[in-house]
Amino acid sequence: MSEIKKASMRDAYGKTLAELSVINKDIVVLDADLSKSTRTNLCADKFPDRFFNVGIAEQNMIGIAAGLAAAGKTVFASSFAVFAPGRCFDQMRLSVAQPSLNVKVVATHGGLTVGEDGASHQAIEDLALASVLPGFHVVVPADAVETAQVIRTAANIYGPFYIRLSRIDLPIVYQNDFQFILGKASLLCQGKDVTIIAIGVMIVAALNAAEQLQSENISCRVLNMSTLKPIDEQAIIAAARETGAIVTAEEHQENGGLGSMVARIVTRNKPVPMSFVAVKDSFGESGKPDELLKKYGLTASDIVREVYSVISRK
């Protein structure tokens, strides 16, 4: 897959949220002194009476979000992924998840591709933290088009959401007529020999791997599992039954992320050889995004290697 056109997920988020705020007067937006980076400043400019910058106080932001949601508002609270859920886990657990309030935590700057900000700002544990919270919907869009659809869906479905966005611009995967469906995987390539299940930044790597493998007469199914919770169990079971091997790919720790969730379903329903392209129990470091993805084994070449491994074990 050629990386021709790229777009910002953060821009898609800010623009879509501002558009929704015109229609839904109950939408309230919170940010923790990062609105220019998260793009919630677009709402601040248009709806200053429904935007609150709480300052560098992310835990307090979640508490305020819970209070507003308890009063009937649809609340979008944004920060970097390393801070929410990283710094806010207790507040997300007690104030949002337990009472099942209508709070949408939209975190930007997820994963290693935060880049030069280094290990302290690279959230690679966030999906595990958010997914373990009962009642939370957890979504990782693949591109700006899907991001806009995810934000619209979250605004229209009651309950807690954690939505992880990337700092870097990503290649456009979907056309503008794409329709995101919460809890359903998106089939990007049909295949019969192996299935690659990927999320977020790793979608393009998965498509590139599938294209390379196709030239080597290996037919790869590629699934975008953008909804981590509730995950599409039927798509995973069908992949196991119909292709007989699965490789997962994520910009996240191997423990507790996409691979762990898929493995649980495969083990219970249709055990097949599996392999996992993910961060292997380490923190990141400062560097350019592409360099970090290469160093930590998150490239198309790494996916290709693991595809050969699972096929050899079929």
Q: What fold characterizes domain 6-171? A: Rossmann fold (3.40.50)
- The CB density around residue 89, as the number of other CB atoms within 10 Å, is 18
User: Rounded to two decimals, what is the model's pTM?
Assistant: 0.96
- Looking at 122-274, list the stretches that DSSP marks H as alpha helix, in order from N- to C-terminal side: 126-131, 144-156, 202-214, 233-243, 258-269
Task: Tell me: cis bond preceding 48? Omega within 30 of 0 counts.
Answer: no
Q: How many CA atoms lie within 13 A of 184 on its CB side?
A: 10
Instruction: State how far the Cα of 277 lies from the Cα of 62, in Å rounded to an integer.
Output: 32
Contact 292, 284 (CB under 8 A): yes
Place of tokens 């074990």: 313
Q: Which CATH number fits domain 186-312: 3.10.20.30, 1.10.10.10, 3.40.50.300, 3.40.50.920?
A: 3.40.50.920
**Residue 183 zone, left/alpha/beta (φ > 0; ψ -120 to 50; rest):** left
Same topology between domain 6-171 and domain 186-312: yes
Full pLDDT tens readout for the chain, 314 residues: 444 799 999 999 999 999 999 999 999 999 999 999 999 999 999 999 999 999 999 999 999 999 999 999 999 999 999 999 999 999 999 999 999 999 999 999 999 999 999 999 999 999 999 999 999 999 999 999 999 999 999 999 999 999 999 999 999 999 989 999 999 999 999 999 999 999 999 999 999 999 999 999 999 999 999 999 999 999 999 999 999 999 999 999 999 999 999 999 999 999 999 999 999 999 999 999 999 999 999 999 999 999 999 999 99
The structural domains of the chain, with segments of one domain joined by +, span 6-171, 186-312
Q: Which of 218, 224, 216 lies closest to 180 in space, CA to CA?
A: 224
Catalytic site residues? 58
Sign of CA dihedral 204, 206, 210, 216: positive
CB atoms under 10 Å from CB of 23, counted, come to 8
